[in-house]
Structure 1
Amino acid sequence: MNGFTFSPALGWLTGGVLAGILTVLAVVEIVQFTRRRGTGTTDETVWACVRRTLMLLLAAVMTLTPSVVAPTTSRAINATDVILAVDVTGSMAVSDAAYGADEPITRIDAARKAVHDVTAAYPGASFAAIRFGASGTLDVPLTPDAPAIDNWADTLTLESTSVSTGSSLDAPIDQLLVTAKSIRESHPDDAIVLYLISDGEQTSDKTRRTFSSLRRYLDDGFAVGVGSAEGGKIPAIADGVGTAESNVTNQWAIDPDTGQPGISKMDETNLKDIADEISGSFVALDAATTLKDAVSAKTSNQWRVTSTVKQRTRTTPVVWPLAIALGVLLAWELGAWIATSRRLL
């Protein structure tokens, strides 16, 4: 069922103040006419007073933007699809990252903040979320529900130390290929942008596969580095299902080659190579650099309407009837002014 409401285009504060001023002016118009009527100090007629009062009241109501609220399952989404791939290997627990501030944070926390900035930077776009460690997993298929992606980022858990087989940067390639190909086939005219967020560390003995196979599906991409060149000790990640960093222990992961706590450093070279392979850009997150500044120039300016399972409400302004009435009154006022001016000549 449709409902009537006011939804000021200028906001309730500004719109309310303007509507109040116009209403006061309408009252002043009536009071002044009543006081001057019969005194011979004005030639304003009753109809002129009514007309001017109505114009002020109509303008006041229009300022509040009368609208109709109706339920809908249709939604307009931007033809830009963003794929987010986040590294969840144990090295992402190292506390040597920064994100828009000097305070050191863990790499996974910097990744979470980066995801939030990406979803905010592409209003109306669709997103897909992939995490990768020993392998890549599509956690959230393509969806226009940006809050779902933010919730996914907030609840990312790190891969336990016992199942880690060494960091392999090519772990997400297969899943990225399947996801990007599926999006391209479903929406051939969309702009597809990839954000791969990692510390760039490659500790696996296997030679890393190239990401160049993704180029045929991507319009743009960013290899995003978290961490520092100095690096830090890697906390041991306990087994089991936890939330956020609940599985991070106070012990250190031991390097089997040295028998000492392992040291992880961000590898810019690997990330720059990946950025080159996808014909994209490398971004190193630090105290001065965030993903607020890394928005693709190849985003689409096209929109499409899609149907969703979730019902939402749509507010549609209905100002045109009042605008027509106000236009008629203004034309009447202009005609009366011209007629009066001709009589005075």
Structure 2
Amino acid sequence: MTFHPIWPWWIMVPVAGAALIFLAWTSVGSRRRGAEPGACLVPAGLVLLLLLAALRPGVPGGSVRAATADMNVFFVVDTTSSIAAEDYGNGSPRLDGVRQDIMAIAAELAGARFSMITFDSQAVVRMPLTTDTSALGTLTDVLEPQITQYSTGSSVTAARTVLNDRLRAARDSHPERARIVYYLGDGEQTSGKAPEPMRLDASLVNGGAVLGYGTSQGGRMKEKSSYSSDEAAAYIQDRSGGSAGDAVSRIDEETLRGIAAQLGVPYVHRAAGDAAGPMMQSAMPGALKETPDSLEGRTELYWAPALGAFILALWESLRVFRQLRQLRPGKPEARP
């Protein structure tokens, strides 16, 4: 049996000692006043049961997974022009799926600390680690693709240095917290050269997933002229063949699987209407893998002495109530 007291031991020991001294003093006083034998047994039992409940006894056994609050979750989000390709669901931009999945993950990992890194021509930390999911929701709602005229080609691993620095900082400050990475993108490499490897220390990533968006048929992308413009936009044109036409972006799942292998996490393709369960089940085994520091489970037993104390208190209350009724003065007799 183990004990997890509700107060530190340096408080519990003096409190218990004071309670025992008080019980001894009242017992001696009751004997001197000629009280009935055993009159102090109920109050003494009540105090002892409350002290036992405060010690929170329990029986060890089994194991429990680490609490969600012990996780640092990093979202690495592709905000290149291709994330606006309209092949998600019924012609919606891929970014709609990215937004939905970010908030679905946040809902499943309530209490975790979240950070967001976006990348296009360069990688930027949009939000440092925080438990404020409302801030995450606001940032997710305003996510937009890069302005088209600034797009000069991008790499799918452009966030590698920033992500590596953020993961190392998280490990150094709180090594006990699992570090979960969700990479959300389409795998399209437009920089004209092969993507550089992520080059992350395997110990930095404890779980997560690479989430892919788009189809092999691809979709057209609307131009982004500014972050505040709501005007109807034309589609981005493909002039690489000499004749203008709507540019089409297609998902590159082979590249995404390669990134997943480098991060040591699974790859999951996401389509409109997909539930969050399969996505989380694929990612969580890495996040919750057994470690030498796994927590030991226990069955709480404090409720038993607490229930006994309640029954004794109820019994004592009824006894006192009966005594009070016996002490009520009777009606005065009428004089002749």
Offset at 1:266?
A: 1.0
Matching residue of 1:16: none
- The reply on whether 1:241 has 2:227 as its aligned counterpart is yes
1:297 partner letter: P
Change (3 A) 1:83 1:214: farther
User: Could you tell me how far 1:221 is from its partner in structure 2?
Assistant: 2.8
In structure 2, the CA distance between the partners of 1:152 and 1:325, relative to structure 1 (3 Å rule), is same
Greater radius of gyration (CA): 2
Alignment of 1:211-250 (within 5 A): 211-238=198-225, 240-242=226-228, 246=229, 249-250=232-233
Report whether the alignment pairs 1:193 with 2:151.
no
Q: C-alpha separation between the residues in 1 aligned to 2:125 and 2:267?
A: 23
Q: CA deviation at 1:222?
A: 1.0
State the match for 2:257 in structure 1. 272
Under a length normalisation based on structure 2, what TM-score does the superposition of the two structures give?
A: 0.64
- Alignment of 1:297 with 2:285, yes or no, is yes
Deviation at 1:290, TM superposition (A): 4.0
Relative distance call for 1:322 and 1:290 in structure 2 (3 A) is closer
Report the Cα distance in structure 1 between the residues aligned to 2:227 and 2:233, rounded to whole angstroms.
Answer: 17
C-alpha distance in 2, partners of 1:227/1:209? 22
Q: Would the aligned equivalents of 1:236 and 1:249 in 2 still touch at CA under 8 Å?
A: no
Match of 2:313 in 1: 328
Distance in structure 2 (CA, Å) of the matches to 1:126 and 1:323: 41
2:121 and 2:269 map into 1 onto residues whose CA distance is 23
Decide whether the 8 Å contact of 2:147 with 2:227 is kept in 1: no
5+ residue gaps, structure 1, are 1-75, 304-319, 335-345
Check whether the contact 1:253–1:262 (CA below 8 A) recurs between aligned residues.
yes
Aligned mates of 1:124, 1:263 — CA distance in 2: 40
| 2:12 counterpart residue number | none
TM-aligned CA deviation for residue 168 of structure 1: 1.3
Q: Which runs of 4+ in 1 moved over 3 A?
A: 246-249, 298-303, 320-327, 330-334
Give, in whole Å, the separation in 1 of the partners of 2:208 and 2:224.
30
* Residue 257 of structure 1 pairs with residue 236 of structure 2: no
Distance 1:227 1:323 in 2: 62
How many corresponding residue pairs? 235
Alignment of 1:96 onto 2:96: no
Once residues 216 and 134 of structure 1 are traced to their aligned partners in structure 2, the CA distance between those partners, rounded to angstroms, is 28
CA-based RMSD: 2.8
Corresponding residue of 2:171: 184
Q: 1:247 to 1:269 in 2, by over 3 A?
A: farther
Partner Cα distance (2:169, 2:263) in 1: 18
1:168 equivalent in alignment to 2:164? no
Q: What stretches of structure 2 of length at least 5 have no aligned partner?
A: 1-66, 295-304, 320-336
Q: Distance in 2 between matches of 1:264 and 1:327?
A: 74
Which residue of structure 2 lines up, in the alignment, with residue 284 of structure 1?
269
The offset of 1:255, in angstroms, is 1.8
- Residue pair 2:160, 2:199 contacting (<8 A) in 1 also: no
Residues 208 and 286 in structure 2, CA contact (< 8 A), matched pair in contact too = no
Q: Pick closer, same or farther for the CA change 1:329–1:202 going to 2, 3 Å.
A: same
SS of equivalent to 1:114: helix
Name the structure where strand makes up a greater proportion of residues: 1
Distance 2:198 2:275 in 1: 24
1:78 aligned residue: 69
Structure 1 residues 93-143: Cα deviation after superposition (integer angstroms, max 9, x where no partner): 122113xxxx44211111000100110111111111111111110011011
Cα distance in 2 between the residues matched to 1:289 and 1:212:
31
